[in-house]
Structure formats: structure tokens, C-alpha cells
Amino acid sequence: MQQSRFLDRQTPPHILTLVVCAGLGALSLNVFLPSLSAMAIHFGTDYAVMQLAVSGYIAGTALLQLVLGPLSDIFGRRRVMIGSILILLVGTLICLAAPNVTVFMFGRMLQTAVVAGFVLPRAIIRDTVPMESAASMIAYVTMGMSLVPMIAPTIGGTLSDLFGWEANFVLILGLGLITLILVSVDLGETNRTPAASFTAQFRSWPDLFRSRRFWGYTLTSTFSSGVFFSFLGGAPFVGTAIYHLTPTMLGVQFFLIAAGYMVGNFISGRYTRRFGTMTMMISGSVVSLIGVCITTAILLGDVASATAFFAPLALTGVGNGLTLPSSNAGIVSVRPHLAGSASGLGGAITVGGGAALSTLAAAVLKEEGGAIPLLVVMGISTLLALAATAYVRRIDLREGAIETRDADR
């Protein structure tokens, strides 16, 4: 592997650039979460409608990943990344100028282009290193990126209290411009074998769909992410309607699960090469389930404290940090020559499942019912992730691990 040099397009992109790209996507997703209630009041709409800025955005990113992955296999990672950031900037300006919720949602859907920051770093890493090293690098990228969701809701809540919800989108605009400059000067092209055509890339999908490993890794990623997406869909309601938190204090509670995610990613980056991707995926689901069970026990014990609810769920963040780097590395390693398409397709399925679970979590919550329904959704999603990992492990035991065989299953 060629050594990376920062701000040198002739070498592979520096890990900081990949972190910033991924971090911008995370910022756009969650920085304004503590402001949802205030935004609903501003636009004169229901909270459930405003929540579509989260679940609808997640669904939009799922669909867009189906296109971005193949596009990057054809036109290159660099061009697609730069174009996506430009579209994000346009969407952010529309959100800021929106006279009503309909126009705001249109701008919000344009912002989904920033999902390239999630899709392309995985493909870029797989362009340059083998699977186990890819899992470790993805973990480090995600660890750095996880600083953003750890602090963004806190910053967003504070900005909302001081200047109004619009300040969150001014922040996205400014950081988007900085990211565009960084990508322009540091991200050289890593796709050295571009695909022939867009149609040819879509014809490769049946090859991925026939791969049992692809489905195992993708479902592991889907249900592991589903735990976090469920939390995103339900936690703002739990924090404001049940525990009556201000936007700033709700942002502080989001800090806990994001901190756990960062810890899990650090462990993955440090130990995946030693213990393997399978151990990391299983351990992650188990840790996540423990977090959900502890929180459920606390609620059943009638402990009326926001911190008592949010703090144990930091373990679900740790679990995601352990599981997702390895499952994502598996997705793009099943067919290395289709890394971009696999990343996009697997990401679309993952985020689409997350959007559904986010919507479900928001729908099942009622003030009189408390937070238990949210924990049920999170617990079931964790168990399904564990089952998907067990399926991949069964294939490995029967046919050999992906690292030691041609990735043909």
C-alpha cells in the first residue's frame, strides 16, 4: 500500500479527510435533533411531520446509496464525493430560506447527497487494503467520525437555545464548504479499474444478491444500525415528552451513546486484526443487548431519571462500534471488484431498514406508555443482528472464512 501524505492527491487520501467526509454526514443527520420541537412550532406543523426530517432523510439516503456506489465505480470516488458535497450545500441554503415545511423538506432531501461521506470512504479503503486491514481502518475512520454525533446534538441544542434552529443549518453550510476544500486538495482517485457503464453495474447486483455472505453481513449491519436508528427515532420524544429536557440537556444525553460508539470503534481498530471480524460482530451484539436489558430493568424499577434511561444505552453505542466496522468490511470484501456497488447496495439496505425502525420507534411511543416500547424495538433489532452474524459464522465454519478463500459465496 502506498503511504498516504496529507494534502497530496498523488497518494491515497489521508485518514483525516475520510473522517471529515463521514463526519459531515453525521452532522447533517443529527445536529438539529434537539430543535425538532422548536422547528415544528416555527413551521406550524405536528412533531410527527417534523420528525420526517429525520426518518425521511434516512430513507432518502438509503435510496441514494443505490446510485452513488455504482456511480463511484464508473466515474471515480473523487468526482462523486465533490458533486455530492455541492448538492448538500444547495440543499442547506434551501432549508435556511424555506418559507414553509414543504420547501424545507425539499431542501432536506437534497442534503441526503452527503451520504457519499458514508458510502465512499468504505470503498476507498477497500480500494487500497485487504479485508482485515479494511475493518481496522474503517473502525478508526468511524471512531474519528463518531466525535461528531457525540458533540453535534449538544452543540445544536445550545445553538438553538441561543440563536434559533436556523443556526444549526448555518453550521452545516460552513463545515460543508471546509470539507469541499479539503476533498479537492487531498482526495485523489483510488478507483483504478472503473466499470464500463451504469447498466453494467446494476447487472452486477444479482451476483451480490446470490452471495449468502453478502446478505449475512448486510443484515448484521442493518439490525445493528437499527438499534441506533430506533434510538434516533424515539429518544427526542422520550427526552422532551417524558423527561421534559431542554434542547441543550437532550443534546448532552445524546453525548453518552455517541461516546460509547467511539469506544467501540477504538476497540475495533485496535483488536480486529488480532481477534477477527466474527468475534467483533458477535461481541458487539451481546454488549448492545446488555445495555438494552439494563435500561429496561431500571425503568421497570420505577427510576424516574433521564440519566438512568440514557446512560446504560451507551453500551448499545459500544456494541455498534464493535459490530459495524467488521460487518461493513465484510460487505465490501465479498466482491472486491464491486466494492463501490456493494457499499452502496449494502448501505441502502442498512439505512432503509434503519429508516423503517426509526419510524416504528417514533410511532409506538406515547407519553402514557413511557419508554418501554422503544426499548422493545431496540432489543428485537439486537437479537436479529446476532442471528445474522450467527448465519455468517455458520458459512465460515462450513466453507472457510472470507479471508482465506475467494469471496465467491
Q: Return the amino acid letter for 383.
A: L
Which of the 8 DSSP states describes residue 129?
A: S
Residue 366 burial (C-beta neighbours within 10 Å; 0-12, 13-18, 19+): exposed
pLDDT at 175: 94
Per the CB < 8 A criterion, the answer to whether 268 and 136 are in contact is yes
* Spatial CA neighbour of 221 closest among 314, 332, 141: 332
Domain ranges of the chain: 15-401
End-to-end CA distance of the chain: 27
Give residue 4's pLDDT band: very low, low, confident or very high (50, 70, 90).
low
226-272: pLDDT as tens digits: 898 888 778 888 888 888 888 778 877 877 887 888 889 889 888 88
| CA neighbor of 136 nearest in space, from 311, 35, 268 | 268
Instruction: State residue 86 phi and psi, 5-degree precision.
Output: -60, -40
What is the pLDDT, as a whole number, of residue 195?
67
Q: 15-401 has which CATH code?
A: 1.20.1250.20
Q: Which three cell numbers stand for residue 298?
A: 431500571
142 or 52, higher pLDDT: 52
Query: Alpha-carbon distance 256 to 234, whole Å?
Result: 16
pLDDT tens digits, residue range 383-398?
A: 999 999 999 999 888 8
d(CA 364, CA 358): 10
Q: Which residues contact 383 (CB under 8 A, 6 or more apart)?
A: 285, 289
Query: Among positive and negative, which fits the CA dihedral 272, 19, 111, 342?
Result: negative
Closest CA to 362 of 135, 128, 50, 86: 50
Residues 204-229 have a mean pLDDT of: 87
